[in-house]
Chain A
Amino acid sequence: ETGVTQSPTHLIKTRGQQVTLRCSSQSGHNTVSWYQQALGQGPQFIFQYYREEENGRGNFPPRFSGLQFPNYSSELNVNALELDDSALYLCASSLMGVLNTEAFFGQGTRLTVV
């Protein structure tokens, strides 16, 4: 089991609402990445945070935003929720500066938008 923890594990929201998902990275890791996984598909990269700044972003609209805190934990915020935002959201931690760093994932947050 990895040291990456995500909360909550499940969430149901109404279209148009806002949601915040949380992730605590593995001890010793300084980088957090977020992925969205639709049912039956591979995860898609949303963005990465390193030293409290966004350090790479995938093809997601600005209503997907994030934060990283001094203890390297992170939040993913999604505004104006749409039905298509229903997915499993995965957080991964790794160590920037180590060329072949291994990414470790949390158990995910299942978001359902109704």
Chain B
Amino acid sequence: KQEVTQIPAALSVPEGENLVLNCSFTDSAIYNLQWFRQDPGKGLTSLLLIQSSQREQTSGRLNASLDKSSGRSTLYIAASQPGDSATYLCAVFKAAGNKLTFGGGTRVLVKP
């Protein structure tokens, strides 16, 4: 059974500092890993999709890495801004079950 863990559960940083969010998963036989952002009470916004054959993916200030063999992904957010305050979720996709398995999320607060 696939398990996804995100540590820490919450993170508070001053504006301008780089953010490092961690995601680990137990079963390395995945097709892809997706990072999402969720604002309070809202739906999920897709940030980055990393295919299993890729090592990293970049979009603007965001960079996500994937080490499938060790079951880890890291999301880096450069030069954080108060608008980056949200919960960040990672999810892995396996063909079996046709579903995304999510971590519990990391709640980020960027202080001005």
Binding site for B on A (CB under 8 A): 2, 4, 6, 31, 33, 35, 40-45, 48, 50, 55-56, 58, 88, 90, 92, 96, 99-100, 102-108, 110
State in angstroms the CA–CA spacing of A31 and B43 once bound together: 18
B57 to chain A, nearest CB (A): 11
Interface residues of B in 18-53 (CB under 8 A from A): 31-32, 34, 36, 41-46, 49, 51-52
Q: Are B31 and A92 in contact (CB under 8 A)?
A: no
Q: Which residues of A contact B99 (CB under 8 A)?
A: 33, 45, 48, 56, 58
| Chain B contact residues: helix, strand, loop or mixed | strand
Q: Are A102 and B34 in contact (CB under 8 A)?
A: yes
State in angstroms the CA–CA spacing of A64 and B50 once bound together: 31
**Can you list 17 A-B contacts (CB < 8 A)?**
A2-B45, A6-B43, A31-B98, A33-B100, A35-B102, A40-B104, A42-B91, A42-B104, A43-B91, A45-B100, A45-B101, A48-B99, A50-B98, A90-B43, A90-B44, A102-B46, A103-B46
